[in-house]
Structure formats: C-alpha cells, structure tokens
Amino acid sequence: MQGHGSAPGPELSGSPQPDEALPSTAWLLIALRWAAGLSILLATAIARWGLGIDLPWGALFAIGAAVLAYNTALAWDARRPARPLSAMRRALWVQIALDWAAMTALVHFTGGIASPALIYFVIHVALAGTMLAPRGARALALLAAALVGGLAALESSGSLAHVSLHSLGLDSDLYRRGEYILAVLFFFTTTALTVAELVARQAQRLREREARIHAMSEAQAAFTRAATHELRAPVASSLALVRTVEQGYLDEMTPPQAVIIQRVAERLDGLRELIDDLLDYAASREATLSRRPLEPVDLGAALSDSVERERPLAEEKPVTLRVQPGEPVCVLATDPGLSMVFSNLINNAIKYTPSGGEVTVRWVVDRPAGWASVTVEDTGMGIPADDLPRIFEEFFRASNARKSRVIGTGIGLAAVRAMVEHYGGTIALDSVEGQGTRVTLRLRLAPSEKSFPSLPSP
C-alpha cells in the first residue's frame, strides 16, 4: 500500500453530530412532559383538597390539562417515521415554545415574580443548552429572563391582574416592590446564564468527542477495507496457482504431495473467504457510518444476481437452489450492498446444508404496509438454540458450525445485519438444530412503490 501517512481519512467536521440525538431528545422531552403535566394536576389537587391551600385551581388544572393535551399531539406527531432532520428540529422548537407559554402561565397563576414555579424555566434553559452552541444557549437564557421580567412588569404595573397566594405565606405586596423584582431577576438571570453556559459547553465538548470517535470509526473501516483489499489479489493468485496443481494440470503428484496441496488450497480458500467477509463488513460499516444515501433497487434483479453467483456452489455440493419470485418491486437500499446481503445469506444457506438438501429463496410484497419480505430458507444443520442470541455478533460462529469442516468467519451475518439496519429494514433468524434455518428480511419499499399497483414488466 502506498502513502500510509496520507491515507484518505474522513474529515473531523464531516458529520453534523447534534442531529443524531434529535429524535431521542424529542422523546425524552415528551416523556418528561407527561410527568410534568400529571404533577401539575396532582399538586393542584393535593394543595386544594389535601392541604386546603387557596389556589386559582381552575387555571392550574387547565394548564396541566393543556400540557397533557399538546403532549399527546406532539407524541402522535413524533411517531411519524423517517422525517428530514430540519422538520424534526422544527418540531423540537415547537415543543419548547409551547412549554414556555405553559410555564409563563404557570408562573403567573402561582404568584408571578414570587412564584416557586419560577425555577422550572431553568430546566428549559438547560435543555436548550444541550442542543445549541453556547451563544444560542445564552440568548435563550436571556429570553427566559425577559419573559419573567416582562411578566413581573405587567403585574406590578397592573396591566395584568396579580394572583396572590396568601396561604403560601407569600407577601401580597412583593410583586409591586421594585427592589424585590430586581433581586429575583438578578439571581434568575445569573442562574439561567450559568446553567446555559455550563450545559452548552459540556454538550459541545461531548459532540466534538463524538465527532472524533465517528471519524475514527470511519477511518478504521476505510483502513480495514484498503488493507483487506490489498490482501485479496495475492491470495487470489496463490489460490489460482495451487488449483492448477491440485486439479492435475501439471505432472502427477505423489499421494502425500497431493494431500499437502489440497490442504494448502483449503487454507487459502478460508483466507479468501475471510477477506471477502471483511470487505463486506468494512463496506457495510462505511455505508452506515457515512450514512450513504439509499436509492430504489430492483429487488428481483439483486436477488437473481446473487442466486446466479452462488449457483455454482449449490451445483457443486449438490444442493437444490430454488427461487420463488414475488411481484417485481423496488426497495430502499444501496446497489452493490443489497446483492452483498443476499449473496451472504444464500452462500451461508448452501454452505451449511448437506448434499441433497434444499435452499429456497422467496419474497412477498406488502404494499399497504410498505414492506417487502425476503426469506432464505434451508434444510441444513441449523443453529443450536443457545447460540441464536449471539448469531449476529461479529466473529461469532455457532458451536455446530465450528465443529464442522465448513469454512466460515462469523462476520458475514454481522455485515448483513449492519447493512439491513442501514436500509431501515429488519432481519430475523429462526432455526431448529438439525432441521434448518430461515432468515427473514423486511425491506422498506421505495417511496414510489407504495401506492401504485405493480405494472407488468415489459
């Protein structure tokens, strides 16, 4: 390999990491909001009926109910799959804006500038800090202070009727005392700014570290691919040379020579298999890490491509390789990637099925659900139940496969799963030891496929 030092590596700033966390941030907010809405209702109920505190309970119940109501709408909205990041970002800001409105109302009805609920604002300042650069977080902290200050100004000037909570011991005059308002605003603002700064800086550091780890993983996958690729050519030529001897295109060998040559050929074949699997694995890692865009891929073409590639192996054993085609359809995938997935599965099925066995490949399309489901089924040695949970792990091989003479590396299925998950699909494997294995893939249909009935291919 040339130019070790200058090996092309992904750029550090290559990926916008904060967006990665967007969906989980949105769901965390929704979960917390259920708790917040319910506790407003509960606290109001306890204060009114349990402790006999005089509260504007009607308004507080309304706020709690409103929080739960808009949270229901937000949860329903967040359930929609696969939205562009900009839309998710917008949805998150809508959540925050609604919360700020609810919090301002809550503060107003619990005593304005003297309200114990004031501290809730800091939660949102901290939350914004996890999503924004320090500058934006500081701006939001100041906006929170302005909201509180505005509310205090409206109440003290009488433009907005102040709600006094006498039973909480809050002096009914506090909201009119400028010094008190200034003091609260000072401590509120400094607290909000400090929290925003601390959280935003820590979050930024985490994002940078995440980006570095991501870049390192990408570089590692690229290195694995480049290094493995360099190994492929010499192994392929050695194997080709050894096979000419093994298959008798030179002079007759003595039996011990023949055994040695056969063993060398077997080991080289294993090495070739390892290299191919590693290449597939590195390719799937790179595709996942770089979020290679998906495109519509003809499912039938990719499958028949793989079936034809693996047919010589099936004929050699022999194992019957059957294809039961479904209706023509395009799925969301990558072009060489999907064939790699199918080839790996079909190759596995043939390898672990004894002579005379059967491998069946079929697919069915569920247009309303937006899925195509592909199954590769064999009558092979199967996988022991104990090994099933680990079967997709890298370098894991089932105990019966390790004992057999079948060459395998244990990374094929890991590569397949990584690729299928990159496509937004699912993979499931069920097996009975000694009877066979069935792998079922569910792949998303390409967007244009969902609503139209299939057209007969020309």
Partner 1 sequence: MARKILVIDDDPDVLLAMRLPLERAGFEVIDALNEDEGLEKAKSLLPDLIILDVMMGTHTAGFQLAQELHGPEAPEALRRIPIVMVTAVHQTTPLRFRPDSDYLPVEAFLEKPVDPRRLLEEVHKLLPPE
Among positions 72, 238, 320, 426, the unique one binding partner 1 when judged by CB under 8 A: 238
Q: Are 10 and 219 in contact (CB under 8 A)?
A: yes
- Structure tokens given for 14: 């290559």
Based on the number of CB atoms within 10 Å of its own CB, is 247 exposed (0-12), middle (13-18) or buried (19 or more)?
exposed
Q: Distance from CA of residue 78 to its chain's centroid?
A: 15
DSSP character for 426?
Answer: E
Choices 121-129, 135-143, 179-187, 244-252 (CB under 8 A): range interacting with partner 1:
244-252
β-partners of residue 359 are 321, 378
Q: Which is nearer to partner 1, 20 or 269 (CB)?
A: 269
Nearest to 443 by CA among 337, 352, 358, 350: 337
Question: Contact between 201 and partner 1 (CB under 8 A)?
Answer: no
Query: How many chain residues touch partner 1 (CB under 8 A)?
Result: 29
Q: Are 397 and 388 in contact (CB under 8 A)?
A: no
Q: What is the CA radius of gyration of the chain?
A: 32
Question: Contact between 244 and partner 1 (CB under 8 A)?
Answer: yes
Q: Which is nearer to partner 1, 166 or 311 (CB)?
A: 311
Binders of partner 1 in range 255-274 (CB under 8 A): 272
Choices 35-43, 131-139, 174-182, 224-232 (CB under 8 A): range interacting with partner 1:
224-232
Among positions 207, 229, 292, 362, the unique one binding partner 1 when judged by CB under 8 A: 229
Question: Contact between 309 and partner 1 (CB under 8 A)?
Answer: yes
Among positions 20, 305, 327, 433, the unique one binding partner 1 when judged by CB under 8 A: 305
Q: Are 144 and 119 in contact (CB under 8 A)?
A: no
Q: Which is nearer to partner 1, 197 or 305 (CB)?
A: 305
Question: Contact between 295 and partner 1 (CB under 8 A)?
Answer: no
Q: Which is nearer to partner 1, 224 or 320 (CB)?
A: 224
Choices 56-64, 129-137, 242-250, 436-444 (CB under 8 A): range interacting with partner 1:
242-250
Choices 103-111, 115-123, 200-208, 232-240 (CB under 8 A): range interacting with partner 1:
232-240
Choices 6-14, 67-75, 159-167, 233-241 (CB under 8 A): range interacting with partner 1:
233-241
- Structure tokens given for 33: 């909001």
Choices 78-86, 225-233, 254-262, 441-449 (CB under 8 A): range interacting with partner 1:
225-233
CA distance 5 to 1: 11
Question: Contact between 236 and partner 1 (CB under 8 A)?
Answer: yes
SS (H, E, C) 244-274: HHHCCCCCCCCHHHHHHHHHHHHHHHHHHHH
- Structure tokens given for 394: 């890298």
Question: Contact between 219 and partner 1 (CB under 8 A)?
Answer: no
Question: Contact between 344 and partner 1 (CB under 8 A)?
Answer: no
Give phi and psi for 84, each to the nearest 5.
-65, 155
What single letter denotes the amino acid at residue 99?
D
- Structure tokens given for 107: 């503060």
Task: Give first-to-last CA distance, the chain, whole Å.
Answer: 47
State in angstroms the smallest separation of the CB of 254 from partner 1.
19
Nearest to 333 by CA among 275, 372, 368, 364: 372
What is the torsional sign of CA 443, 444, 446, 449?
Answer: positive
Among positions 240, 259, 260, 385, the unique one binding partner 1 when judged by CB under 8 A: 240
β-partners of residue 440 are 375, 428
State in angstroms the smallest separation of the CB of 421 from partner 1.
21
State in angstroms the smallest separation of the CB of 305 from partner 1.
6
State in angstroms the smallest separation of the CB of 261 from partner 1.
13
CA distance 108 to 163: 7
Among positions 9, 14, 134, 336, the unique one binding partner 1 when judged by CB under 8 A: 336
What is the torsional sign of CA 181, 186, 187, 191?
Answer: positive
State in angstroms the smallest separation of the CB of 359 from partner 1.
19
Choices 10-18, 305-313, 387-395, 412-420 (CB under 8 A): range interacting with partner 1:
305-313
Question: Contact between 315 and partner 1 (CB under 8 A)?
Answer: no
Given the rule CB under 8 A, which residues bind partner 1?
225, 229, 232-233, 235-241, 243-244, 247, 249-250, 272, 275-276, 279-280, 283, 305, 308-309, 312, 335-336, 343
